[in-house]
Chain A
């Protein structure tokens, strides 16, 4: 038996792969649901009904998908150039805490000024936090996986320090959270009587912008070239180091923007549990979309739906809500296999 790389991957396979992967993950995880003593069909029914049934379900799922689109884009932009930024979680928190710090001060700006400025600050904070690993990678060849992973812990400790110390809200009854941002910094709601906010539209715009940059700009093409083969790209006259740094900073900006939007649209303040693992989930989202920026939107909606639905499943059927994490992680692994099958064929 021999594996052979296909000349070209059929377009249909790229769409079929995530669907097959998700179905495989759901059927594998039905064993776990059965282990918990619940009826599999009823449990999945509850999950679907909670996350897509009715106005509340759909808006909740899209609200939860918003940060995932940003972290998914962050992973896709970096992974395209084979810069393994696993630190989107940390950059997300940096964007969030920067916005919480600046947004709680009244500068007397109108919302039209205040909101874009804060978004830029959030993105810059995320970019600053990845600058270290990017420079270490390019200058000293220090593996960025380890540095970005370790900085996630530093970021959460930094946020914890700030919300327990200088940024603590005096009105929070001793609960460690930052002061809420002022009204002019809040992103308006998109749908009445729901938590869905304009951040979702920003996420869609970001996805479109990344898709455009990837397909139509010199920068986009050079990241792909560097990702495919750095030596070949260098040979073609591409400044590999510069491209890597730019891709890393872009990735950090997107993750930081995600944190900023989460604070400005949804929470209004920062706590140390602002993100239930949006960074790692972003990697899953990006892989489910095979790093395609437009595919990231449906992939993020899927992951969000699992998390929104799992809580209801836990309440109604006694299945621990960790099932959402298992489903999502399993779909990542099966997606990797599905992508492999799309790229290779087995010859006897």
Chain B
């Protein structure tokens, strides 16, 4: 029991929880934007891979770190545009198109990575983001290590949660976006373009997902691996449901997930008699359990996954 307390009381545990949560915050916000406008974006796993590869490659080729994130965002937005072309303009099945985008974006990223970086024993490294140093706060003994030694993208993620929440509920654009996801006919009747809103939401959302992927290669780690994303995208899709499509709850969900993941990682060496695979399975199973728990009170956007065609009902 004291071992459990030791894990939870260590400052590094809390730092790790937020670090693990950061890519999920980006990804969940991105998926949430799309779903609020009525489009499920199952391209997320591939878009995160593309972002991770692009961000890393840009920095490896000499761009500054922030340019790497920007490059990732641009590539993400482009893939989002492709997704919008298929699911919004043509109204194709969002499941199949999304999965196709995932396969396309990840295989293309692998191909380009292999083309740019010859195969070698250990993948080349870059100098990743350093923690932001706040005067006084970062030097506090426990609090400082737990909360105030994060890299800049983590702070960006937290600011974005507030930004997306404000945008969705306090601006006319946010209202229109939510209306496109609830009742596209009503939206069109108001003279607001459903296609435009959904395309914009998908592009912005995909850009966020890609930045989440890029966080992994430019801040959490320093090189690109082929199996980098490991289902993080799918976890984000589950988190959106868990969060009832609300940015604040999405942040909470991502941090809870980060805490759980950090906890199981620290628990593994303490109980070597339990196979480590059981620990690694837990986050996935827990995500499914969370979905079941919230399923009864899920407030799904009414037009989610319903393609909109003008004049067709």
Name A's B-contacting residues (CB within 8 A): 2-3, 5, 32, 35-36, 79, 84, 86, 136, 140-143, 145-147, 149-154, 157-158, 160-161, 164-165, 280, 283-284, 287, 320, 322-323, 325-326, 328-330, 332-333, 336-337, 340
Q: Which residues of A contact B277 (CB under 8 A)?
A: 157-158, 160-161, 164
Residue B61 is within 8 A (CB to CB) of chain A in the complex: no
Does B104 contact A329, Cβ atoms closer than 8 Å?
yes
Nearest to B104 among chain A residues (CB) is: A329
CB < 8 Å: which of A3, A145, A147 contacts B95?
Answer: A145
What is the 8 Å Cβ interface bit string for chain B, positions 179-196, against chain A (1 contact, 0 not)? 000000000000000000
User: Could you tell me the distance between the alpha carbons of A73 and B100 in the complex, rounded to whole angstroms?
Assistant: 18
Q: Which residues of A contact B287 (CB under 8 A)?
A: 146, 150
User: Could you tell me the distance between the alpha carbons of A153 and B283 in the complex, rounded to whole angstroms?
Assistant: 10
Nearest to B240 among chain A residues (CB) is: A146
User: Could you tell me the distance between the alpha carbons of A280 and B92 in the complex, rounded to whole angstroms?
Assistant: 18
What is the 8 Å Cβ interface bit string for chain B, positions 265-303, against chain A (1 contact, 0 not)? 000000000010110110011011001100110100000
What is the 8 Å Cβ interface bit string for chain B, positions 57-95, against chain A (1 contact, 0 not)? 000000000000000000000000010001000101101
User: Could you tell me the distance between the alpha carbons of A329 and B43 in the complex, rounded to whole angstroms?
Assistant: 12
CB < 8 Å: which of B82, B104, B280 contacts A326?
Answer: B104
Give the contacts of B91-129 with A (CB-CB under 8 A).
Answer: 92-93, 95-97, 99-101, 103-104, 106-108, 110-111, 114-115
Does B231 contact A153, Cβ atoms closer than 8 Å?
yes
Chain A proximity of B212: nearest CB distance (Å)? 17
Does A280 contact B103, Cβ atoms closer than 8 Å?
yes
Chain A proximity of B82: nearest CB distance (Å)? 8
Does B241 contact A336, Cβ atoms closer than 8 Å?
no
Q: Which residues of B contact A3 (CB under 8 A)?
A: 309
Residue B160 is within 8 A (CB to CB) of chain A in the complex: no
Q: Which residues of A contact B292 (CB under 8 A)?
A: 136, 140, 142
Does A322 contact B275, Cβ atoms closer than 8 Å?
no
Q: Which residues of A contact B237 (CB under 8 A)?
A: 145-146, 149
Chain A proximity of B280: nearest CB distance (Å)? 5
What is the 8 Å Cβ interface bit string for chain B, positions 137-163, against chain A (1 contact, 0 not)? 000000000000000000000000000
Residue B238 is within 8 A (CB to CB) of chain A in the complex: yes
**8 A-B contact pairs sorted by A residue (CB < 8 Å):** A146-B238, A150-B238, A150-B284, A284-B100, A287-B100, A326-B104, A326-B107, A328-B107
User: Could you tell me the distance between the alpha carbons of A336 and B281 in the complex, rounded to whole angstroms?
Assistant: 34
Q: Which residues of B contact A326 (CB under 8 A)?
A: 104, 107-108, 111
Q: Which residues of B contact A147 (CB under 8 A)?
A: 288, 291
Residue B176 is within 8 A (CB to CB) of chain A in the complex: no
Does A32 contact B111, Cβ atoms closer than 8 Å?
yes
Residue B210 is within 8 A (CB to CB) of chain A in the complex: no
Given the contacts A146-B237, A150-B287, A160-B277, A35 and B107 also touching, CB distance less than 8 Å: no
Nearest to B103 among chain A residues (CB) is: A329
Given the contacts A145-B42, A320-B115, A165 and B96 also touching, CB distance less than 8 Å: no
Q: Which residues of B contact A332 (CB under 8 A)?
A: 96, 100, 103-104
Chain A proximity of B81: nearest CB distance (Å)? 13
User: Could you tell me the distance between the alpha carbons of A141 and B293 in the complex, rounded to whole angstroms?
Assistant: 11
Does A141 contact B107, Cβ atoms closer than 8 Å?
no
Given the contacts A141-B295, A280-B103, A35 and B95 also touching, CB distance less than 8 Å: no
Q: Which residues of B contact A157 (CB under 8 A)?
A: 277-278, 280-281
Given the contacts A35-B115, A150-B284, A153-B284, A325 and B103 also touching, CB distance less than 8 Å: yes
Give the contacts of B220-268 with A (CB-CB under 8 A).
Answer: 230-231, 234-235, 237-238, 241
Nearest to B233 among chain A residues (CB) is: A149
Nearest to B237 among chain A residues (CB) is: A146
Does A150 contact B110, Cβ atoms closer than 8 Å?
no
Does A84 contact B95, Cβ atoms closer than 8 Å?
yes
Given the contacts A158-B277, A283-B96, A320-B111, A150 and B288 also touching, CB distance less than 8 Å: yes
Nearest to B98 among chain A residues (CB) is: A145
Does B115 contact A150, Cβ atoms closer than 8 Å?
no
Nearest to B230 among chain A residues (CB) is: A153
Chain B proximity of A74: nearest CB distance (Å)? 14
User: Could you tell me the distance between the alpha carbons of A2 and B312 in the complex, rounded to whole angstroms?
Assistant: 11
Q: Which residues of A contact B107 (CB under 8 A)?
A: 322, 325-326, 328-329
User: Could you tell me the distance between the alpha carbons of A165 and B295 in the complex, rounded to whole angstroms?
Assistant: 36
Nearest to B93 among chain A residues (CB) is: A336
Lowest 4 CB-CB distances: which A-B pairs, in order? Answer: A325-B107, A320-B114, A329-B103, A161-B277
Q: Which residues of A contact B309 (CB under 8 A)?
A: 3
Chain A proximity of B172: nearest CB distance (Å)? 29
Q: Which residues of A contact B97 (CB under 8 A)?
A: 333, 336
Chain B proximity of A96: nearest CB distance (Å)? 17
Q: Which residues of B contact A329 (CB under 8 A)?
A: 100, 103-104, 107-108
What is the 8 Å Cβ interface bit string for chain B, positions 1-12, against chain A (1 contact, 0 not)? 000000000000
Does B231 contact A150, Cβ atoms closer than 8 Å?
yes
Q: Which residues of A contact B115 (CB under 8 A)?
A: 35-36, 320
Does B230 contact A328, Cβ atoms closer than 8 Å?
no
Does B104 contact A86, Cβ atoms closer than 8 Å?
no
Chain A proximity of B111: nearest CB distance (Å)? 4
Q: Which residues of B contact A160 (CB under 8 A)?
A: 277
Chain A proximity of B13: nearest CB distance (Å)? 23
Does B275 contact A165, Cβ atoms closer than 8 Å?
yes
CB < 8 Å: which of B104, B108, B295, B311 contacts A140?
Answer: B295
Does A337 contact B86, Cβ atoms closer than 8 Å?
yes
Chain B proximity of A73: nearest CB distance (Å)? 16
CB < 8 Å: which of B100, B234, B295 contacts A149?
Answer: B234
Q: Which residues of A contact B311 (CB under 8 A)?
A: 2
